[in-house]
Amino acid sequence: MSEDSSSGIVFGTSDTGAGSSRMAQTDSEDLLEKNRAMLIFFGLVEQIQQALKKGAREDQTRSTVQEEGAPEDPWVIHMQKRLMDVPAMLVLSEHLLSSLQEMEEATDLQEMFDVMEVLPDVLSGGCSSCEEFVNEAKK
């Protein structure tokens, strides 16, 4: 490859073999770095949502039966109970901190989605790779 120093344009031939795989790996790493903050945000929100919603359906049914005249929706009562459970919130915060550290250390999109606990969803959605999924999601 050569570079025209006046314009900063890089000229070169198309890579094949090992060079091509390095280029694909670099593209994948660039895609991860460009989207890391967004993926971390969505990963943490997804994990918080899953933790807080755990058992919500059962609690909502019981709340509706037990507190028929209550002015609040059953999900509000459930969230209040969940958020006031200090030991469970400590466990959740430790889990979120661990996940955040793992997401920050992820070296590729597959590892990132695995830490986010959404890898099966990503790969079962009709995309053949994590990179394809991210590119489709951005459209």
Segment 83-131, tens digit of pLDDT: 999 999 999 999 999 999 999 999 999 999 999 989 999 999 888 999 9
Using CA atoms, how far apart are residues 92 and 114, in angstroms rounded to an integer? 18
Using CA atoms, how far apart are residues 83 and 106, in angstroms rounded to an integer? 30
Q: Is the pLDDT of residue 18 over 60?
A: no
10 Å Cβ neighbour count for 107?
Answer: 10
Which amino acid is located at 18 in the chain? Answer: A
Q: Is the pLDDT of residue 71 over 80?
A: no
User: Chain-wide mean pLDDT for the chain?
Assistant: 79
Taking the model in full, what pTM does it have?
Answer: 0.67
